[in-house]
Amino acid sequence: MTEPLQFWMVALLFLPLIGAIAAFVLPRHAPIVGMGVALGVTGAAVGLCWQVQSVGTGTVALGGWGAPLGINLHVDGLSAAMLAMTAGVGAVVSMGAVNTFGGRVARSAETARPRQYFWPLWLLLLTGLNGVYLGTDIFNLYVMIEVIALAAVGLTVLSGSLAALRAGLDYMFASILGALLLLMGVGFVYLQLGRLDFGGLAGADPSGALVAALALMFVGLALKTALFPLHFWLPAAHANATAPASALLSALVVKAALYIIVRLLQHMPAPGEALVVLMGLMGTGAILWGSVQALRADRLKLLVAWSTVTQIGLIFVALAQAGVAGLAHSWKAAAVLILAHGVAKGAMFLAAGRIRAEVGHDRIRDLDRSPVRPALAQLAFAFAAVSLIGLPPSLGFIGKWMVMEGALAAGNWHWVVITMTGTLFSLAYFSRVFAGFLRFDRVEADVPGGVVEQRGRAPMDYAPLALAALGVALGLVAAPILEFLEIGRAGGWP
Amino acid sequence: MTDLLLLFDMLLGLLIIGLAVAALRVRDLFAMVVMFVTFGLMTALAWVRLAAPDVALAEAAIGTGVTGALLLKTLYHLRRVSGTLHLPEALSERPPDPQVPRAVIAANAVMCGLVVIGLAAAFVTAPLGGPGFDAAVADAMPESGVDHPVTAVLLNFRAYDTLMEVVVLLAAVIAVWLVERSLPQSDPPVMGEVYEGFARLVLPGAVVVGVYVLWAGAVAPGGAFQGGAVLAAVGLLLLMSHVYEPAPAHRAAARGLFVLGVAVFTGVALLVAWGGRAVFEYPPGLAKPLILLIEGMVTISIAATLAALFHGREPGVQPRPADTSEGAQ
């Protein structure tokens, strides 16, 4: 505890938990508590990254017992990067939420209750996310996933609309089923190895039973991260939530299960070639099906939600790009894409929420008829799309470049084709939205004053804009980011 | 003697499977709940036979008792909303069959089949008895501060997991308070005189049992979750007999009770780290009192939370008309 690195790790876990308690007990002050904790967590994440950069990895043995009897927290480059992304996106979304739900004084009874409940749920979600990124024990990861799941379901139904409640119920069923499969897998691993920590998993003899147990865990996690064809719950859940909640669900929540899959691949003894090919095929399905659905979506937020499905698929293609032998490198491409998607999607959902608030609807077909053009929010949306499509110099571009480079080096040109197809599709469906932003000839004529590009601007537009710009600019410092991700992996993949 | 027990175990296993199938097959919702509760009790018995009395207590108290009460309340609510409360034939009302495309059913069947194959493979090829934590737990028991290994694991060796499980319960009650505002109010049923007398008789006993189960957890099966569930039953009785009526003025107190366990647990975990120890590392000698303090507070929180989940809404919140708009800002 005296070491600064360990201090930041414990702070990242307990600060949001204490904040959640305070925000729930003091509902009137929830926005201040929540915003303060979000900024505090960002500070702690920066401190942690600084320490990881200078001293390397760190471990906290909770209770002083140490693994395998006790539970260890561990941080390396990948964990620290995920924590920093979560904290940064979370802080920006919190700013957006202060705007959406009103500050100290609720603007109406309609926003009073969502405002009261958003903060404790979001801070509990943050606790769970940070716990996953610090965790090294598969049972503990299951518990953290449950914390995330309940908080996320709460955020999904925050608006209280019928569509949101229905989507939230579907999400909860999918989520519980996924958690159950994960738990059964964990149970079978424990039965065979007698321990639950990553260290025990890495040292185990690969056996048929262990593969079956890990396959169960994989299916449960795929359901949680909405990998095709287990994505059915995601579009409705993410599209019907309030904008800040959508941003959190899409940018952060699905990443927790995805991160656990990456960690399992890292620590499991001899992942089979079949599993890796299966991941690539499911990812391909997600890219194609998600793209078609995004092209057909009639509402802006639904399109953005389907784009999450395709991006999750892309991340699995990134993991599969070079087969089992290539995992030692391909996890980095996946990690870069996870970070890029988190930053860009958080910005995009906030921007979509602002556009909807200013225009009054989010039907893509009628965006170009609106005389109101919230220029800053549209710019934020476009910047986020640049990173998601993968145009240089964005972080998304670096990720896709690494996927294609790795796939070519391994001779797997089919993954290159898939990645390119996904990129073209994403250009196509985001262009539907851009056309709505940029066409002016269909604006209904009799509007006094004509098109008002300046209307629909608010100081709150700068939050998603800054986040989206960050997603683009991070591509310029890709080399240090990649170096940072490798901290604790000096020997590459174990 | 062994043969008789073996016969009993086999019959119990068959009965459990049969009850599970019956609960899924039967279309009468009330019968379904009854089947489920019976299934839970038989499963608890199976846990006893598997020499896992802690799990058996949890299954009986939470998996069967509290869940059964929640299901019955939901059924009552559904029938009240649909206006079929006083129609005797509504008891066997079927839920409408949703129209699902054949392709979706086929895809579901394939995927469920794959999962079942995975489960079967994991089960068949698994060793009969794994090494487990038994040896490590036995070694560390003297330093744990308690005499019951399960409690030592839950409250000391892996206290972090337990803290987060209590956090899950907190998240659940927050989500329920959030959701329930958009549903119409349904008053709990009015209980007759027999029930009132029953409640008066059972209440003090339940309190004693709950506290005992908690206290016994240090040396024998029992503990916070089981004790909390028994005390929650006290809360259920109070709610249903209208001895206690939730009022808006009680909201702050309720919130305080929900977070009490998490707050004390977190506080202890962090405060013991003050003197250069790790988080959750109880100082020697103080382990037992600290564990009892945490368990006591967590029990209160669990009891309050489970009772609140049964009540299902923030006290005094007026329902608002259902919002049928397709999305929300």
Average pLDDT score over chain B: 81
Question: How far does the CA of residue B193 sit from the closest CA of chain A (Å)?
Answer: 38
Q: What is the pLDDT of residue B194?
A: 76
Of A208, A356, A357, the CB nearest to B121: A208
Name the token pair of B5: 């027990």
pLDDT of residue A242: 87
Give the one of B172, B269, B326 whose C-beta lies nearest to A150's C-beta.
B172
A-chain residues near B261 (CB < 8 A): none
pLDDT higher than threshold 50 for residue B305: yes
Top-confidence residue, B99 or A10: A10
Q: At what angle do helices A413-438 and A273-296 cross, to 10 degrees?
A: 20
**Considering just the CA atoms, what is the radius of gyration of chain A in Å?**
22
Enumerate residues 6+ apart whose C-beta is below 8 A from A281.
none
Measuring CA to CA, which residue among A55, A56, A52, A59 is closest to residue A73? A59
Give residue limits of the domains in chain A.
1-136, 138-271, 272-494
- Cβ contact A345:A464 at 8 Å: no
User: Pick from A69, A64, A140: which is nearest to B135 by CA?
Assistant: A69
The C-alpha of A314 sits at a distance from chain B's nearest C-alpha, in angstroms, of: 22
pLDDT tens for chain A, 494 residues long, are 458 888 899 999 999 999 999 999 988 888 889 999 999 999 999 999 999 988 888 888 888 888 788 888 999 999 999 999 999 999 999 988 887 776 444 455 556 677 788 999 999 999 999 999 999 999 999 999 999 999 999 999 888 788 888 899 999 999 999 999 999 999 888 888 888 888 888 877 777 778 888 888 999 999 999 998 888 889 888 888 888 899 999 999 999 999 999 998 888 776 778 888 989 999 999 999 999 999 999 999 999 999 999 999 999 999 988 888 888 888 899 999 999 999 999 999 999 988 888 888 888 888 888 877 888 888 999 999 999 998 888 999 999 999 999 999 888 889 999 999 999 999 999 999 988 888 777 776 556 666 565 566 677 788 899 999 999 999 889 888 988 888 887 544 44
For residues A208 and B121, the answer to whether their CB atoms sit within 8 Å is yes
B278 touches A at CB < 8 Å: yes
Instruction: State the CB neighbour count (10 A cutoff) for residue B189.
Output: 13
Structure tokens at A52: 């990881």
CB A469 within 8 A of CB A390: no
pLDDT single digits (tens) B112-167: 888 888 888 877 877 766 667 777 888 888 888 787 888 888 888 888 999 999 99
pLDDT at B170 > cutoff 60: yes
- The predicted complex's ipTM stands at 0.90
Q: Which three-class secondary structure state does DSSP give residue A231?
A: coil
Q: Do A63 and B156 touch (CB under 8 A)?
A: yes
The phi, psi pair for B314, rounded to 5°, reads -70, 135
State residue B100 phi and psi, 5-degree precision.
Answer: -115, 130
Structure tokens at A212: 């079956």
Q: Which residue does chain A place closest to B175, by CA atoms?
A: A154
Check if the beta carbon of residue A463 is closer than 8 Å to that of residue A96. yes
Query: pLDDT band at B1, cuts 50/70/90?
Result: low
A452 φ, ψ to 5°?
Answer: -110, 90
Interatomic CA distance for residues B69 and B93, integer angstroms = 20
> In the 8-state DSSP scheme, what is residue A321?
T
| CA of A300 vs chain B CAs: smallest distance (Å) | 11
CA B108 to chain A, closest CA, distance in angstroms equals 10
- pLDDT reported for residue B12: 93
Residue A275 is inside which H or E element, if any? helix A273-296
Nearest-Cα distance to chain B for A185, in Å, is 8
Rounded to whole angstroms, what are the CA distances from B111 to A185, A216, B107?
Answer: 16, 12, 6
What is d(CA A335, CA A321) in angstroms, rounded to the nearest whole number?
13
For chain B, say whether A71 makes contact (Cβ under 8 Å).
Answer: yes
* CA diameter of chain B: 68
Contacting residues of A for B178, CB less than 8 Å apart: 113, 117, 121, 154, 157-158
Q: Given this model, what pLDDT does residue B326 score?
A: 38
Distance CA(A94)–CA(A247), nearest Å, equals: 10
Kindly determine whether residue A62 and residue B280, on different chains, have CB atoms separated by under 8 Å.
yes
Classify residue B312 as left (phi > 0), alpha (psi -120 to 50) or beta: left
Q: At which residue do the structure tokens 């379901």 appear? A: A153
The verdict on A163 touching B (C-beta cutoff 8 Å) is yes
pLDDT-derived band of residue B314, with 50, 70 and 90 as boundaries? confident
Omega of the bond leading into B96 within 30 degrees of 0 (cis): no
Contact A159 B127 (CB under 8 A): no
> CA B280 → CA A197, A271, B156, B163, B301, distances in Å?
18, 35, 7, 10, 20
The DSSP H or E segment spanning A74 is strand A71-75
Quickly list H helices, chain B. 2-25, 29-49, 53-58, 67-81, 102-125, 134-144, 149-152, 159-179, 193-216, 224-240, 251-271, 287-311
Give the residue from A93, A101, A77 showing the smallest Cα distance to A27: A101
Inspect the interface and report whether the beta carbons of B118 and A212 lie closer than 8 Å: yes
- Please give, rounded to a whole number of angstroms, the shortest distance from the CA of B155 to a CA of chain A: 10
- What pLDDT digit, counting tens, does each position of B206-258 carry? 888 888 888 777 677 777 888 888 888 888 888 877 777 777 788 888 899 99
User: For residue A225, what pLDDT is reported?
Assistant: 92
- Please give the structure tokens belonging to residue A313: 């698929």
Sort out which chain A residues have CB atoms less than 8 A from B103's CB and list them: none
Contacts of B262 in chain A (CB under 8 A): 17, 21
User: What is the pTM for the complete model shown?
Assistant: 0.91
Residue in chain A lying closest to B129 (CA): A191
Chain A residue nearest residue B282, CA to CA: A63
Q: How confident is the model at residue B325 (pLDDT cuts 50, 70, 90)?
A: very low
**Burial call B136-149: b when 16+ CB within 10 Å, e when fewer:** bbeebbeebbbebb
State the residue for tokens 């068949």. Answer: B124
Domain ranges of chain B: 1-95, 96-126, 145-316
Report the alpha-carbon distance of residue B52 to residue B214 in Å, rounded: 17
Asked, as a colleague might, if the bond just before A464 is cis with ω within 30 of 0, I would say no
Write out the two tokens for B252.
């702050």
Nearest chain B Cα distance for residue A64, angstroms: 6
CB contact under 8 A, B278 and A61: yes
Interface of A with B in 350-369 (CB under 8 A): 353, 356-357, 362
